[in-house]
Structure 1
């Protein structure tokens, strides 16, 4: 059964992979920042800036890498 709510959209495979990797990097950055060195939080900053950039320009390097690796999108 399909949900026809206007604010929902079909999430592509690449979008799910990008979200998973971004979330993993942020979690890893926070853990390393807490347990190793505070400068690891710069990784979370980089991920956040990359997500903002990709939302404004509609271009994501990770999507290009996934296409290059021949990972099929929906």
Structure 2
């Protein structure tokens, strides 16, 4: 699995988990939802995300570059 896909899975899991915790335990868990959303927003502008750095250090590969299309004669 590649970083981009794993990153979306982690963000979605954290969001759903924090919403469930806010509903069943304490509404203050919504701050985690806000943190995940703000982190996704800033990574859209800066192209940097702390979780990507963590996943790279863990050895998760990036998406390989797509090969150039072959020209047919």
For the superposition of Structure 1 and Structure 2, which TM-score range results when normalised by the shorter chain?
A: 0.7 to 0.9
Give TM-score, length-normalised by structure 1.
Answer: 0.80
Moved over 6 A (4+): none
Alignment correspondent of 1:64: 53
TM-score (norm 2): 0.81
- Alpha-carbon distance, 1:73 to partner: 1.8
| Higher RCO structure (Cα 8 Å, ≥6 apart) | 2
Larger radius of gyration: 2
Aligned runs of 1:1-74 on 2, under 5 Å? 13-74=2-63
List runs of 5+ in structure 2 lacking aligned partners. 64-73
Gaps of 5+ in 1: 1-11
Name the count of aligned residue pairs: 63
Deviation at 1:65, TM superposition (A): 0.8
Question: For the aligned residues, what is the CA RMSD?
Answer: 1.2
